[in-house]
Structure 1
Amino acid sequence: MRTLTCALVEDSNVHRILLEKTIEKNNQLELKYSFNNGIDALKILNFNTIDILFLDIEMPLMNGFEFLSRLQSNPQIVITSQNPIYALQAYEFNVTDYLLKPFTKIRFDIAIKKAKEKVKTTIQELPEHKIIVKHNLKQVELNIHTILWIEALGDYVKVITRQRNYVVLSTLSAFQKKIGKQHFLRIHKSYIVNLKMVERYNHQYIEIHDKKLPISRTKNLELDKLLNYLD
């Protein structure tokens, strides 16, 4: 299996340096990012994919749980904490493991083995037309073929399918990268549509599932070409 990419968020300089050295000594791991606070970490990790995130809970400005609730990506989460009282709450976030500091190399290796198995399972089992999104603090498997449209909702996007809707912390641009451009087009600053779901359209709006969505003038020509191609 390939090397697993890692990031860590730890406000203690001592613990951060120790964990950096522990990761660097493991030939199965590659440390990509190291942060001393959650705010800086979100600016990078919400737009970059990693396999494993090592995360402290008790941090200033933003604690570990606040961080997880705002994290858009879905890495394997390994909590590193000096306090066992957060363990139950941590598993509500579907964390991979919970390491109590100071932890031994043997205990660290067990956590890595768990993460590695989960990453491998995800790669093997998730078809190309499915993605993992975080909805209501839980990871949800979403079939992109069922998406009708996606709309901007402040710091979130609302994903509309025939079965149900999902509210995901993401920008429209970031979400479009996640689903790919095939059969999807951003027709407006606030909307991305599944072109296969379009029922009718003119140069002012698209209609999908009895919903009229506005079209930006600059998208009319591109929309015509893509819809004619799909036909």
Structure 2
Amino acid sequence: MNCIIIEDDYLSQQTILKCCQSFGKEINVLRVFNNVEDAEEYIKNSTKKIDLIFLDIILPGKSGIDFISDLLIMPYIIMTTAYENYAVKAFDLNVVDYLKKPIIFRRFAQSVEKVKKLIKLDEEKGESETIVLKNKGTILRFHTHDIDYIESYSDYIKLFIKQQPFLHLTSLKSIKEKLHSEKFIQIHRRFIVNSEKISYINQNKVSIIGYPNLELPISRALRKDFYKNFLGDEEAMKESVS
């Protein structure tokens, strides 16, 4: 599994690194960061999927709690901290475990095993990414598989998940970059659809399962790529575009 470490204390960094190295090839540490801002920039630009983050709470600049609160696509997170009083808040934000410093390898290994079981369960279900949304003070966690489609509204987006809309302050371009699954296809400057949720295509309009009165437009500029990606057949694509 790919992981990053966000920790400003050097000794704690080295402890976590050594613990990770004890798992051999099972854990691949991509980068170590001293602060959240640098980690956010890396996550934004990285082409590699991050499965796990080891995250301190008290950091220079933005805190670990604020970092989680700003995440949309959320890897599994193990908190590493010297403080006990953030545990309830951390678990409210759906972290996997809460390791109190000094970190003991036995507890570290237990945390990693929890993550490994969750990843295995995701793989068995064919689900590998989760999305975290805040709704009326509640933190909701969904698998990206559950997203039906996404609509852009200028400086924010509306995600439709299991026929329910959720607003999030980000751009369509940004969410597209964060969704690693190839099944999410942009069909219009305002719409991204989950190709597994398409019920039918009618004259360059797409219908989504569970939305009987809705047809989303396929723009001329994106039409060719859509048919190629969705149908995977050159002849069918030519026939549909013509």
What TM-score comes out, normalization by structure 2 length? 0.72
Q: Give the secondary-structure state (helix, strand or coil) at the position aligned to 1:15.
A: helix
Cα offset, 1:91, TM superposition:
0.4
Instruction: State the alpha-carbon separation in 2 of the partners of residues 226 and 88 from structure 1.
Output: 52
Cα offset, 1:164, TM superposition:
0.8
| Partner residue, 1:98 | 98
Counterparts of residues 57-96 of structure 1 (less than 5 Å)? 57-96=57-96
Q: 1:214 to 1:134 in 2, by over 3 A?
A: same
Cα offset, 1:70, TM superposition:
1.8
| Partner residue, 2:43 | 45
Tell me the alpha carbon deviations over residues 134-164 of structure 1, each in whole angstroms, 9 at most, x when there is no partner: 12243113545x72x4223566532235721
Tell me the alpha carbon deviations over residues 24-74 of structure 1, each in whole angstroms, 9 at most, x when there is no partner: 233232211211111111122245422221000011211011101122333
> Which one-letter code corresponds to 1:140 in the other structure?
F
8 Å CA contact 2:188, 2:217 repeated in 1: yes
Q: Give the secondary-structure state (helix, strand or coil) at the position aligned to 1:95.
A: coil
Cα offset, 1:8, TM superposition:
0.7
Instruction: State the alpha-carbon separation in 2 of the partners of residues 161 and 84 from structure 1.
Output: 35
Q: 1:186 to 1:176 in 2, by over 3 A?
A: farther
| Partner residue, 2:177 | 174
Cα offset, 1:213, TM superposition:
6.1
| Partner residue, 1:160 | 160
> Which one-letter code corresponds to 2:126 in the other structure?
P
Q: Give the secondary-structure state (helix, strand or coil) at the position aligned to 1:50.
A: coil
Cα offset, 1:227, TM superposition:
9.8
8 Å CA contact 2:58, 2:64 repeated in 1: yes
Cα offset, 1:102, TM superposition:
0.6
> Which one-letter code corresponds to 2:61 in the other structure?
L
Counterparts of residues 1-231 of structure 1 (less than 5 Å)? 4-27=1-24, 28-46=26-44, 47=46, 48-124=48-124, 126-127=125-126, 132-136=130-134, 137-143=139-145, 147=148, 149-153=149-153, 156-160=156-160, 163-167=163-167, 171-174=174-177, 177-178=180-181, 180-181=183-184, 184-188=185-189, 190-193=190-193, 196=198, 216-219=219-222, 229=240
Q: 1:207 to 1:120 in 2, by over 3 A?
A: closer
8 Å CA contact 1:84, 1:100 repeated in 2: yes
- Long gaps (5+) in structure 2: 228-235
8 Å CA contact 1:45, 1:73 repeated in 2: no
8 Å CA contact 1:38, 1:63 repeated in 2: yes
Q: How many residues align?
A: 217
> Which one-letter code corresponds to 2:74 in the other structure?
N
Instruction: State the alpha-carbon separation in 2 of the partners of residues 140 and 120 from structure 1.
Output: 17
Cα offset, 1:174, TM superposition:
1.8
Q: 1:198 to 1:64 in 2, by over 3 A?
A: same
| Partner residue, 2:233 | none
Q: Give the secondary-structure state (helix, strand or coil) at the position aligned to 1:158.
A: strand
- Long gaps (5+) in structure 1: none
Instruction: State the alpha-carbon separation in 2 of the partners of residues 212 and 221 from structure 1.
Output: 18
Q: CA RMSD in A?
A: 3.3
Instruction: State the alpha-carbon separation in 2 of the partners of residues 228 and 161 from structure 1.
Output: 32
